[in-house]
Amino acid sequence: MPFVENEGLKIYYEFVEGKLPAMVFIHGWTANMNFWKEQRAYFQGKNAMLFIDNRGHGRSEKPKEYEQYLFEKFVSDLNAVVSSLKLSDFILIGHSFGTMISMKFCEEHEDKVKALILIGGGTRIRAFHKFFYPISRLFSAVNYKSSVKLVENLSFAKNAVELKEWALKQVLENTPRYSAMNGYKTLTKIDLRQVANKLEKPTLIIVGEKDALLPVGKSKELNRLIKNSKLLVVSGAGHCVQLEKPEIVNREIERFCSELS
C-alpha cells in the first residue's frame, strides 16, 4: 500500500494517473478519502488525481498524542506526499477542515499550486465550538457512536438519510475517538483570515445552502477575503455538498478547471 513517511508517521495516499494538471483532494475532520468517491468516479480517466488520508484518519497512522495533531502537522503531511510524487502546478481541492489545510499550504508553497477549490470551508469554526469542546469530549467518552451520529446529522441535509448512514459507518470504522477529539481541539484554535487575505490564486468556493457546520456566511467571508475568487451556493445541500449534489459540484469543478487552461 502506498505510504509516505513524514516525521516518523506513515501517511496513506492513492494516486490516479491522468492528464495534468493533477487534482489533489484533502478531506475534512473525521472523514477520509472515500468522501471524494463521487469526484473520483467522475474524473477517472480525465485528470490525474491524488487522494490523501489525513493523519489520524482512514489508513494513515493514528497517533494518540495531541501534539501529533497540531495544524502544521497536517500541512506538512500534504507537502511530504506531493513532494514524494514530484507534483507541482496542481489544483488543490479541500473540504471543511481540508479547506484550511489547503489555504495554509498555498500560503507556504504558492509555487506548487495552480488554483484552489474550497468546499464547505472557512477561515475558522464558530466561536461556540471553543466552549463546546470540553462538553463534547465528555459526551464522546460516554458514547462515541452517538457523538458521531450527531455530527453526521449536521453534516448533511435532512433528506440525505442514506448518506448519513454511510458516513456514520465510515467514521466509526476509520477514525478513532482520540483522533476525532485531538483534531477538534486543533480546529478550535485556527484563524486563517490573514492567510486568506494574502491568497491570489484562482479560487472556486462551493458551499451547500443548508450547511449547518460551516454555514454559507463562512464561504461568503472567504469570497470577500480571497481576491481572485468566485462563490457558488448549491441549493438544498448540506455540509457534504460534494456527496449530496455531485452532479453540480463536478460540473462546476470541471468548468473552473477548463477556464484555467
What pLDDT, in 10s, does the model give residues 96-107?
999 999 999 999
Cα 247 from Cα 208, distance rounded (Å): 13
Cα 85 from Cα 51, distance rounded (Å): 12
Residues 211-235: what's their mean pLDDT?
Answer: 95
When mean pLDDT is compared across 11-15, 145-149, 254-258, the lowest value belongs to: 145-149
Cα 157 from Cα 185, distance rounded (Å): 25
For residue 153, what pLDDT band results from cuts at 50, 70 and 90? confident
Cα 30 from Cα 230, distance rounded (Å): 27
- Structure confidence at residue 140 (pLDDT): 53
- Structure confidence at residue 123 (pLDDT): 95
For residue 167, what pLDDT band results from cuts at 50, 70 and 90? very high
- Structure confidence at residue 133 (pLDDT): 41
- Structure confidence at residue 128 (pLDDT): 42
- Structure confidence at residue 219 (pLDDT): 97
For domain 3-260, the CATH class is alpha beta
Residues 76-104: what's their mean pLDDT?
Answer: 97
Whether the ω angle into residue 21 lies within 30 degrees of 0, i.e. cis, is yes
- Structure confidence at residue 126 (pLDDT): 61
Task: Kindly report, residue by residue over 190-201, the tens digit of the pLDDT.
Answer: 999 999 999 999
Predicted TM-score (pTM) of the model is 0.94
Cβ count near 109 (within 10 Å): 16
- Structure confidence at residue 22 (pLDDT): 96
Grid cell for residue 50: 491524488
CA quadruple 60, 64, 65, 69: dihedral sign = positive
Residue 143 has pLDDT above 70, yes or no: no
- Residue 150: burial class (beta carbons within 10 Å; 0-12, 13-18, 19+): middle
Cα-based distances in Å from 220 to 200, 211, 217: 16, 13, 5
Residue 40 has pLDDT above 70, yes or no: yes
Residues 126-136: what's their mean pLDDT?
Answer: 47
